[in-house]
Chains A and B, each alone.
Chain A
Amino acid sequence: MASYDALRAEFEAFAAEQIAPFADEWDRNGAVPESAIRAMAEAGFLGLSIPEEFGGRGLDQRGVMLLNMAVGEACSSMRSLLTVHLALVSETIARWGTPEQKTRLLPDLASGRKIAAFALSEPLTGSDAKNVHTRYVRDGDRYRLTGRKKWTTFGQRADLFLVVADGEEGVCAFLLDRSKAGKSLLLGPLDGMLGTRASLVAEMEMSGCAVDERDVLGRRGLGFLQIVNTALDNGRFSVAAGCVGIARAALRAAAQHANTREQFGSKLRDFQLIRRRAAAIALDARTAALLCEDAAALRDGGSPKAIMRTAMAKYHASAAANRAADHAVQIHGALGCHESSPVQRYFRDARVMEIIEGSTEMQELLIGEQAIKNPDLIID
C-alpha cells in the first residue's frame, strides 16, 4: 500500500483538479454529472476500502478518512457519494454479506459499474429509525416490498438500494436491484435541498417490489441491530471526515479573503476580531481531524471503542464544520452570502451534516449515556 502521505497527495490532487473547480456549478445545477462519477470510479475511489479480491483497492479506514477529507474539502455533494455508496452499502456488504453476495455484488460496486444508495429514512421516520413503515411480505421464494423512502442520497442515480423494511420476520435489510424492479419502483428527484444540493436526492415509492431470498443482507430480523447499525457507523465516519474537509475549505477561503480584502485602509488580516474568527476555524478544523484520526486508528485496530469514538468524531466534526463555515461567511461579509463565493455552499452543506447519519442530538444521547456509565471508555 502507498504511504498515507502519498495517498493524501493523490486524493487532494484529484479533488483539486477534477472536483473543486466545478463544485459551485454542480451545486447550482442540482446534480453532479455522470462524467464526474465516472472519474471517481476510474480512480478506484468507489471501491477504496473494498478488499482487493473483490476488485477494490483494499485500503484501511485511515485511507477512507483521507479520501473523505480531500473530496469533502472540494464538494460535499460528491463526497456524499462516498458515504452512501462506499460506507453505508459496500462496506456493509463486505462485512456482513454472504460469500455469494460479496462475489456477485462487490466487484460491480467497487468498480463503480453499479452505484448504491441507502434507503432507510421515510416521510414519517427519521431519528426513530427502528420504526420503519415500509413493509415486506413473503411471496414464495421472494419478498415483496411496499412503502415510501425519502431523502435517499444519490437515489436518482443508484442501481442498487439497501432497503430497510419491517415484516413478520422482524426488520430486514434487502438489496433491491433497480433494473429488476420495473414499474413497481418509482423514483422522483427531491429538489430544493438546503445543502448538498447536487447529491441527486430521491424519493422512492415501492409497490410490491420483488426481491430474491438471496438478497436479504444479514440475518432476518436483525436488519436494524446488525445492518443499519453497521451501516450508520460506517457512514458516521465518512461524514465526520468530510466535515473536516468543509472546515479546511472554510479556513482556506477565510485566509485568502483576509489576506486580500482591505477595509479602513488595512487588510482584514490585521484586525484582531478577524484573527479571533480565524483562530476559531483553525481550532475546529484541527480538533475535528484529530478525533477522526483517533476513530480511524481504533477502527483499523478492531477496537470495541471504535463505535463510540466514531460517534464523537461525527458529533464534533459536524458542529465544527458549521462553526467554521459560519465564521468564513462572516469574514467574507456580503460576498459570503452570494453564490459567487463558495463559502455560502460550505455554510449550507455543513448544516446538513448535523442531521444525516444520526443527528447531533442522537449522538449527544449516545455519547452522554456512555460517558456517565463508563468515563474510562471515553477517556482512555
Chain B
Amino acid sequence: MTANDNDQLKSDIRDYFKSNMGKDARFADGDDIFADGLVNSLFALQLVTFLEDSFKITVENDDLDLQNFRSVDAIADFVGRKRNNSAA
C-alpha cells in the first residue's frame, strides 16, 4: 500500500467516524474512540460492516481485537494488514 493509499484510507475512515459521531466531532487519528465514549455499542458492528463493504476485506472472529478498531490509525493499520495478507 502506497503512502497515498494510506492517506485515502484514513480519510475514508475519518469521514465514516464523523458520519456516525456528528459532523462537528473532533478527534485525532490516534484517539481511542471507544474509550472517549464517542460511539454507542452498535457502532462496532456498523464499523465492521463498513470496513468489509468499503475495503473488500472479511473481518473474522480472530480479527475482533478492539486494539484493531480503537482509532483511525489502528483501523488503517488493520485494513492494510488484511489487504497484504489476502494479496500474499
Contact = CB atoms under 8 A, between A and B. Distances in A.
A225 B41 contact: yes
B21 A373 contact: yes
Interface stretch (A48-56, A178-186, A216-224, A245-253): A216-224
Interface in B27-55: 40-42, 44-47, 49-50, 52-53
Q: Which of B40, B46, B64 has the most CB of A within 10 A?
A: B46
B64 A218 contact: yes
Contacts, number: 59
Contacts of A366: 40, 42
Interface residues of B, number: 21
Interface string B9-38: 000000010011111000000000000000
B61 A219 contact: yes
A226 B60 CA distance: 11
B interface secondary structure, majority: helix
A376 B21 CA distance: 13
A301 B20 CA distance: 20
A263 interface: no
A333 B44 CA distance: 48
Contact of B61 (A96, A233, A301, A302): A96
B53 A304 contact: yes
Given A226-B44, A302-B49, 4 more contacts: A96-B61, A222-B64, A366-B42, A373-B19
Interface of A: 96-98, 130, 218-219, 222, 224-226, 229-230, 233, 301-304, 306-308, 366, 369-370, 372-374, 376-377
